[in-house]
Structures are given as C-alpha cells and as structure tokens.
Amino acid sequence: MKAVHYNPNPQRPQLARAIRRLERDVLRMGALVEQSFRLSHQALFARNLTAAEELPRLDKKIDRFYRQIESDCTAIMTLQAPTAPDLRCLSAFMQLVRDLERIGDYAEDLAEIAIKIFPYEPHTSMPDIEAMSLHAQAMLATSLKALGDFDEAGGRRLKHLDDTVDDAYDRVYQTLAQQRDVPGVVEPIVLLALAIRCLERMADHATNIGQRVAYIVTGQRS
C-alpha cells in the first residue's frame, strides 16, 4: 500500500509557511517532552534525584509552548481562512499539543514519585516497570516521527504498540495488588501503582498523537 502523507496547501504559500512553522514548534515542544520523560526515567530507575529536580524547569517551557501554539493556531484559523485540510491540521495540532502537555505533566509526577520512593529498597517489579517506561518512550518518539513526516501509517502503528504497555500495566498491577506480608509501610507499593498508571497514560497520549496524525492526513477518525 502506498504511504499517505499530508502537505500544507501549495496554493496558499503564506498559509503553508505558517503551518510549517507551527509544525516545527510542535516538534520542538515534543523534544522537550521527550527530554522530560528521559529525566523522569533516570530519576525513578537510576535513582538520580538531580534529574528529578530538572523537571519543574522543563515543564514551564513545555507549558509556554503549549499556550503559544494554541494561540497561533487560533490566530491562523481566524485571520487566514484555511481550507478544510489545513483547518483539520490546525485543529489536530491544538489537540495533540494537549497530549504532549499531559505527557510532560506525568513525567513531572514520576519525578515526584522517584523522590518519595528513594528511601526504600528497589521493588522486585522495577525491571518490568522500567521496560514499560522504555516502551512508552519509544512510542512517544514514534508518534513524533509520524508527525514530522505527516505519515498516516506511522501514526496508526501506535495503536498496536500501546497493547504492550497495557499488558505490562495489567501484569505489574496484579503483582502489586496481590502482594502479601508487605514488610513495613505500604507507601512504596502505592507509589509504584501510581507510577505504572502514569506510564500507561503517557502511552495512551502517545497513541492519541498518532491517531491525530492519521486524521490530519485522511480526515478520518479512528
């Protein structure tokens, strides 16, 4: 099957340039979100609290991008009378930057969990949770590549990748929920349950980004 892609309206070069600038800004925001995800991973699994301390600064940058991109999309819709395909793209941008912003928020949550769980011995489920985190990070990278290429097939591929994270979530949750004779306090169990929920939601938002890319290209919602 031939790959399907989207290109901004060549008959409206000013509008096409504005959309390309927006795309670059979204990808720059995505790069910051990827960085925040990596730092949260280091904080939680390498017990690197210095990495955790970087997250609030990054989150402020991500939030600024989010507000600016939403504002720019609204201005283009209002002032440049975009055609239906370009309007579809702008609408999807406004939705997917919300997905990116939420992934950044979850990364900050993971960093806070890393700080709280630091005094405790690593749980036996940590390798499975780390694998879950790495897979979710790969999903985010895949979604951003699909966006950079305006690639429908790449965007739709995320739905299948998400199954791996969902399965890992169910498996680890059952391990945590069924643990008996927990020595000492139960706080680390609760924190890990929160961590896997964050990772599961981060993967969901990466999947959303892929679906929004497919919508930009085809106009069809999954």
Q: Which domains does the chain have, with CATH numbers?
A: 13-218 (1.20.58.220)
Q: Using pLDDT thresholds of 50, 70 and 90, give the confidence band for residue 79.
A: confident
Model confidence pTM above 0.75? yes
Give per-residue pLDDT as tens, 146-200.
999 999 999 999 999 999 999 999 999 999 999 877 777 889 999 999 999 999 9
pLDDT of residue 85: 87
How far is 96 from 98, CA to CA, in rounded Å?
5
> Which residue is listed with tokens 């305006």?
150
Mutual angle of helices 84-117 and 187-218, in 10-degree steps: 170
pLDDT of 53 over the 90 cut: yes
Helical segments of 7-150, H only: 13-45, 49-79, 84-117, 126-149
The H or E element containing residue 208 is helix 187-218
